[in-house]
Amino acid sequence: MSRYVQSIQTYLREIGEAEPKKLGVAAEPSALEILTGAQNSLERRLREDAKSTDRIIVVAVVLLCCLFFAGLGLVFYYRDSPGHVAAMFGGGSFLSLLGIVGWLRKLWFDKRTMDLLLVLVQSMSPADAAKVLATFYFGALSPKTT
Protein backbone atom coordinates (compact mmCIF):
# COMPACT_ATOMS: atom_id res chain seq x y z
CA MET A 1 0.00 0.00 0.00
CA SER A 2 1.29 3.43 -0.89
CA ARG A 3 2.42 5.80 1.82
CA TYR A 4 -0.05 8.49 0.76
CA VAL A 5 -2.91 6.00 1.13
CA GLN A 6 -1.71 5.23 4.65
CA SER A 7 -1.54 8.99 5.34
CA ILE A 8 -5.15 9.38 4.22
CA GLN A 9 -6.20 6.42 6.38
CA THR A 10 -4.51 8.04 9.38
CA TYR A 11 -6.23 11.34 8.59
CA LEU A 12 -9.64 9.66 8.36
CA ARG A 13 -9.09 7.88 11.68
CA GLU A 14 -8.09 11.20 13.30
CA ILE A 15 -11.29 12.89 12.19
CA GLY A 16 -13.50 9.90 13.01
CA GLU A 17 -14.32 8.85 9.43
CA ALA A 18 -12.71 5.40 9.49
CA GLU A 19 -15.76 3.70 7.97
CA PRO A 20 -17.77 4.66 4.88
CA LYS A 21 -21.09 6.31 5.67
CA LYS A 22 -24.38 4.93 4.42
CA LEU A 23 -26.56 7.13 2.26
CA GLY A 24 -29.05 9.16 4.27
CA VAL A 25 -27.05 8.95 7.51
CA ALA A 26 -25.80 12.36 8.55
CA ALA A 27 -22.19 12.47 9.63
CA GLU A 28 -21.49 13.94 13.02
CA PRO A 29 -19.67 17.26 12.67
CA SER A 30 -16.12 17.07 13.93
CA ALA A 31 -14.62 19.88 15.93
CA LEU A 32 -12.88 22.51 13.83
CA GLU A 33 -9.68 22.15 15.87
CA ILE A 34 -9.55 18.42 15.18
CA LEU A 35 -10.19 18.92 11.47
CA THR A 36 -7.60 21.71 11.20
CA GLY A 37 -4.93 19.75 13.07
CA ALA A 38 -5.56 16.60 11.05
CA GLN A 39 -5.54 18.61 7.81
CA ASN A 40 -2.19 20.22 8.69
CA SER A 41 -0.60 16.89 9.57
CA LEU A 42 -1.97 15.33 6.37
CA GLU A 43 -0.57 18.21 4.32
CA ARG A 44 2.85 17.76 5.94
CA ARG A 45 2.83 14.00 5.30
CA LEU A 46 1.71 14.47 1.68
CA ARG A 47 4.52 16.98 1.10
CA GLU A 48 7.08 14.52 2.47
CA ASP A 49 5.67 11.68 0.38
CA ALA A 50 5.65 13.88 -2.74
CA LYS A 51 9.32 14.82 -2.22
CA SER A 52 10.40 11.20 -1.82
CA THR A 53 8.33 10.16 -4.84
CA ASP A 54 9.95 12.96 -6.88
CA ARG A 55 13.38 11.62 -5.96
CA ILE A 56 12.41 8.05 -6.87
CA ILE A 57 11.02 9.15 -10.23
CA VAL A 58 14.18 11.12 -11.05
CA VAL A 59 16.43 8.20 -10.11
CA ALA A 60 14.30 5.73 -12.09
CA VAL A 61 14.25 7.91 -15.21
CA VAL A 62 18.02 8.52 -15.01
CA LEU A 63 18.67 4.78 -14.66
CA LEU A 64 16.32 4.03 -17.54
CA CYS A 65 18.17 6.56 -19.71
CA CYS A 66 21.50 5.02 -18.70
CA LEU A 67 20.20 1.58 -19.71
CA PHE A 68 19.04 3.00 -23.03
CA PHE A 69 22.40 4.61 -23.79
CA ALA A 70 24.30 1.50 -22.67
CA GLY A 71 22.14 -0.59 -25.03
CA LEU A 72 22.69 1.91 -27.82
CA GLY A 73 26.43 1.79 -27.23
CA LEU A 74 26.42 -2.01 -27.32
CA VAL A 75 24.43 -1.99 -30.56
CA PHE A 76 27.02 0.27 -32.19
CA TYR A 77 29.88 -1.78 -30.74
CA TYR A 78 28.43 -5.07 -32.04
CA ARG A 79 26.94 -3.65 -35.24
CA ASP A 80 28.85 -6.17 -37.38
CA SER A 81 27.58 -9.14 -35.36
CA PRO A 82 23.83 -9.60 -35.85
CA GLY A 83 23.74 -12.50 -33.40
CA HIS A 84 24.87 -10.28 -30.53
CA VAL A 85 22.38 -7.54 -31.46
CA ALA A 86 19.56 -10.09 -31.64
CA ALA A 87 20.53 -11.43 -28.21
CA MET A 88 20.48 -7.92 -26.72
CA PHE A 89 17.00 -7.21 -28.08
CA GLY A 90 15.56 -10.62 -27.26
CA GLY A 91 12.19 -11.08 -25.60
CA GLY A 92 13.57 -10.99 -22.06
CA SER A 93 14.93 -7.49 -22.31
CA PHE A 94 11.75 -6.23 -23.96
CA LEU A 95 9.59 -7.74 -21.23
CA SER A 96 11.78 -6.22 -18.52
CA LEU A 97 11.40 -2.82 -20.17
CA LEU A 98 7.62 -3.27 -20.11
CA GLY A 99 7.86 -4.00 -16.39
CA ILE A 100 9.94 -0.89 -15.81
CA VAL A 101 7.54 1.27 -17.80
CA GLY A 102 4.59 -0.18 -15.85
CA TRP A 103 6.35 0.61 -12.58
CA LEU A 104 7.07 4.17 -13.75
CA ARG A 105 3.41 4.56 -14.77
CA LYS A 106 2.32 3.54 -11.25
CA LEU A 107 4.80 6.01 -9.74
CA TRP A 108 3.50 8.74 -12.04
CA PHE A 109 -0.11 7.98 -11.06
CA ASP A 110 0.81 8.09 -7.36
CA LYS A 111 2.61 11.40 -7.88
CA ARG A 112 -0.34 12.98 -9.69
CA THR A 113 -2.73 11.72 -7.01
CA MET A 114 -0.55 13.18 -4.24
CA ASP A 115 -0.34 16.51 -6.06
CA LEU A 116 -4.12 16.60 -6.49
CA LEU A 117 -4.74 15.77 -2.84
CA LEU A 118 -2.20 18.35 -1.71
CA VAL A 119 -3.91 21.07 -3.75
CA LEU A 120 -7.29 20.02 -2.38
CA VAL A 121 -6.07 20.08 1.21
CA GLN A 122 -4.46 23.50 0.77
CA SER A 123 -7.35 25.17 -1.01
CA MET A 124 -10.40 23.88 0.87
CA SER A 125 -11.80 24.53 4.30
CA PRO A 126 -11.12 21.70 6.79
CA ALA A 127 -14.76 20.52 6.76
CA ASP A 128 -14.96 20.45 2.94
CA ALA A 129 -11.55 18.79 2.64
CA ALA A 130 -12.66 16.09 5.08
CA LYS A 131 -15.74 15.34 2.96
CA VAL A 132 -13.79 15.25 -0.29
CA LEU A 133 -10.96 13.11 1.10
CA ALA A 134 -13.36 10.63 2.70
CA THR A 135 -15.33 10.35 -0.55
CA PHE A 136 -12.15 9.99 -2.62
CA TYR A 137 -10.65 7.40 -0.31
CA PHE A 138 -13.73 5.20 -0.04
CA GLY A 139 -14.58 5.66 -3.73
CA ALA A 140 -11.18 5.24 -5.36
CA LEU A 141 -8.47 4.08 -2.97
CA SER A 142 -9.96 1.66 -0.46
CA PRO A 143 -10.16 -2.03 -1.31
CA LYS A 144 -13.63 -2.94 -2.49
CA THR A 145 -15.56 -5.44 -0.40
CA THR A 146 -18.54 -7.02 -2.08
* Better-predicted residue by pLDDT, 128 or 23: 128
Domain ranges of the chain: 3-126
- Is residue 4's pLDDT more than 60? yes
Q: Rg of the chain over CA atoms, in angstroms?
A: 22
Report percent pLDDT > 90 for the chain: 0
79 phi and psi angles, rounded to 5 deg: -65, -20
Tell me: the pLDDT tens digits for 66-118? 888 887 888 788 888 888 777 777 756 666 777 888 888 888 888 888 888 88
**Alpha helices per DSSP H over the chain:** 3-14, 32-77, 82-88, 91-123, 126-136
Tell me the C-alpha distance between 69 and 136, whole Å: 41
Question: What mean pLDDT do residues 7-25 have?
Answer: 76
Tell me the C-alpha distance between 41 and 133, whole Å: 14
46 phi and psi angles, rounded to 5 deg: -65, -40
**b/e code 92-116 from CB counts within 10 Å (16+ = b):** eeeeeeeeeeeeeeebeebbebbee
Instruction: Give this prediction's pTM.
Output: 0.69
Tell me the C-alpha distance between 140 and 8, whole Å: 12
What pLDDT shows up at residue 144? 63
Mean pLDDT, the chain, integer = 80
